């Protein structure tokens, strides 16, 4: 049974599922009425668990209570009769109406001998105490559980590192130009909403979000005088500005993406391609543009229109959708636009939640340029949106 549990533990890499699996196994192997697994949070000096009280999280300071002292000392505490033992705190029982009797609390020790978690089994079936055989069973389970938990923690840390790394890259590029403050973050949220409306899930959504976050990364190589020019770019400047999409692809090709994330640079680099083939950098058309890039393109235009820019005010949602509908077919993918409409309430909520990330009014250039004469509002917005 322990071998079987071990096999199952090793196939799980997220901590929440692991906690659940370990609690189930403990309950089953020890014939206990309940089992809770606590994990040590060394940074906060606490133990936490998600199991005991349903979906909520419980936290205990290290050194307090029975689980807290097992975590601190690494010593097993096996109590045959909880109410006859001074270390037992009857308060949770009083609140829940549960009657604790026998209680086995066992440390989970990690690679360097540190206690990384605690098993707690409550009320042995049949009413007797937990035995030394139960302790031996937990010793075997704890050994494999510790490996699984440390693995899961490592995976979570790697994911965190990866996520904060790409967020930092996006922040550095957005920070170069006040008028696009928060742009990459917002495009990521909008792309996520649109992607979901198109039925994307799991890894596909993850790839889409990473590509959206990094879509304008190539702007890091665009000189300030073009990037921050408070006014309309002339044709030559616009040509120069266009290089950012290709640069995004080049720079991201340097990042060693995990195997299942390899399309990210391609999605990001194609965000200025258009359905009619008149986009850049490659002039790809329609279905030869990857779906993710067609979604990022719509999210990109959505942000350019809804957020204020020096050459335009923040357009309201309905006006934005109207302009985007006018771009469907030639520029934007009509299927993506259908998803934009289907997701309108979600986009509206995201828009409201992200308003505080908009560029602040009153910085140099903002609100001073309203010329761009000779173009209709729609043309101006659409033309400008493609430079974002």
Span from 20-28, 139-147, 156-164, 214-222 in contact with Fe ion (CB under 5 A): 214-222
- Binding-site size, Fe ion (CB under 5 A): 3
Give the DSSP letter of residue 119: E
Span from 9-17, 39-47, 210-218, 322-330 in contact with Fe ion (CB under 5 A): 210-218
Span from 66-74, 134-142, 205-213, 297-305 in contact with Fe ion (CB under 5 A): 297-305
Give the DSSP letter of residue 315: P
Is the sign of the CA dihedral 218, 220, 222, 224 positive or negative?
A: positive
Q: Which residue, 62 or 297, has its beta carbon nearer to Fe ion?
A: 297
Q: Which of 274, 164, 268, 163 lies closest to 220 in space, CA to CA?
A: 268
- Radius of gyration over every alpha carbon of the chain, rounded to an integer in angstroms: 28
Q: Which residue, 177 or 206, has its beta carbon nearer to Fe ion?
A: 177
- Whether the CB-CB separation of 257 and 232 falls below 8 Å is answered with no
- For position 306 contacting Fe ion by CB under 5 A, the verdict is no
Span from 23-31, 258-266, 296-304, 373-381 in contact with Fe ion (CB under 5 A): 296-304
- For position 273 contacting Fe ion by CB under 5 A, the verdict is no
- Whether the CB-CB separation of 372 and 311 falls below 8 Å is answered with yes
- Whether the CB-CB separation of 248 and 281 falls below 8 Å is answered with no
Q: Which residue has the tokens 């990109």?
A: 300
Closest approach, Cβ 34 to Fe ion, in A, equals: 52
Task: Count the neighbouring beta carbons within 10 Å of the beta carbon of residue 384.
Answer: 20
Q: Which of 46, 192, 206, 216 binds Fe ion (CB under 5 A)?
A: 216
Catalytic hit among 219, 232, 312, 384: 219
Residue 335 a catalytic site member: no
Q: Where are the beta strands (DSSP E) in the chain?
A: 32-41, 46-49, 58-61, 77-79, 103-109, 115-124
The two three-digit tokens of residue 89, written as one number: 């705190």
Under DSSP, is residue 130 helix (H, G, I), strand (E, B) or coil? coil
Span from 92-100, 118-126, 212-220, 369-377 in contact with Fe ion (CB under 5 A): 212-220
Closest approach, Cβ 332 to Fe ion, in A, equals: 14
- Whether the CB-CB separation of 301 and 271 falls below 8 Å is answered with no
Closest approach, Cβ 180 to Fe ion, in A, equals: 7
Closest approach, Cβ 272 to Fe ion, in A, equals: 6
Assess whether the previous peptide bond of 281 is cis (omega < 30° from 0): yes
Q: Which of 191, 300, 336, 347 binds Fe ion (CB under 5 A)?
A: 300
Q: Which residue, 87 or 278, has its beta carbon nearer to Fe ion?
A: 278
Closest approach, Cβ 187 to Fe ion, in A, equals: 6
Beta bridge partners of 61: 46
Closest approach, Cβ 105 to Fe ion, in A, equals: 54
E strand or H helix that includes residue 239: helix 235-252
- For position 270 contacting Fe ion by CB under 5 A, the verdict is no
**For residues 62-95, b (16+ Cβ closer than 10 Å) or e, as one string?**
beebbbbbbbbeeebbbbeebeeeeebeeeeeee
Q: Which residue, 263 or 300, has its beta carbon nearer to Fe ion?
A: 300
Q: Which residue, 121 or 299, has its beta carbon nearer to Fe ion?
A: 299
Catalytic residue numbers read 219
Which residues of the shown chain bind Fe ion in the complex (CB under 5 A)?
Answer: 216, 300, 388
């Amino acid at each position: 049974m322990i071998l079987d549990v071990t096999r199952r533990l090793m196939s799980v890499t997220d901590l929440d599922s692991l906690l659940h699996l370990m609690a189930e196994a403990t309950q089953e192997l020890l014939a206990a009425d309940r089992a809770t697994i606590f994990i040590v949070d060394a940074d906060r000096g606490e133990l936490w668990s998600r199991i005991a009280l349903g979906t909520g999280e419980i936290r205990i300071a290290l050194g307090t209570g029975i689980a807290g002292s097992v975590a601190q000392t690494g010593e097993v505490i096996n109590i045959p009769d909880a109410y006859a033992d001074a270390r037992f705190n009857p308060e949770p029982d009083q609140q829940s109406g549960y009657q604790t009797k026998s209680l086995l609390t066992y440390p989970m020790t990690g690679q360097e001998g540190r206690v990384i978690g605690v098993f707690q089994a409550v009320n042995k079936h049949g009413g007797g105490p937990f035995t030394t055989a139960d302790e031996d069973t937990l010793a075997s389970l704890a050994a494999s559980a510790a490996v699984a938990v440390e693995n899961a923690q490592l995976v979570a840390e790697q994911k965190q590192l990866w996520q904060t790394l790409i967020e930092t890259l996006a922040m550095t590029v957005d920070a170069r130009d006040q008028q696009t403050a928060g742009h990459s973050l917002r495009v990521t949220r909008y792309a996520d909403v649109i992607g979901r409306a198109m039925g994307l899930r799991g890894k596909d959504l993850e790839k889409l979000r990473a590509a959206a976050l990094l879509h304008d990364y190539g702007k890091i190589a665009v000189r300030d005088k073009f990037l921050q020019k408070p006014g309309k770019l002339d044709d030559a400047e616009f040509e120069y500005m266009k290089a950012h999409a290709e640069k995004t692809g080049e720079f991201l090709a340097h990042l060693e993406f995990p195997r299942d994330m390899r399309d990210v640079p391609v999605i990001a680099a194609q965000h200025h391609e258009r359905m009619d083939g008149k986009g850049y950098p490659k002039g790809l058309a329609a279905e030869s543009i990857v779906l993710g890039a067609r979604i990022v393109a719509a999210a990109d235009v959505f942000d350019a229109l809804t957020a204020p820019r020096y050459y335009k005010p923040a357009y309201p949602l309905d006006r934005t959708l109207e302009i985007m509908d006018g771009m469907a077919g030639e520029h934007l993918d009509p299927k993506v636009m259908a998803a934009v409409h289907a997701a309108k309430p979600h986009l509206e909520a995201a828009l409201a939640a992200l308003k505080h990330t908009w560029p602040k009014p009153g910085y140099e250039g903002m609100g001073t340029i309203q010329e761009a004469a000779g173009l209709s509002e729609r043309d101006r917005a659409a033309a400008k949106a493609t430079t974002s």
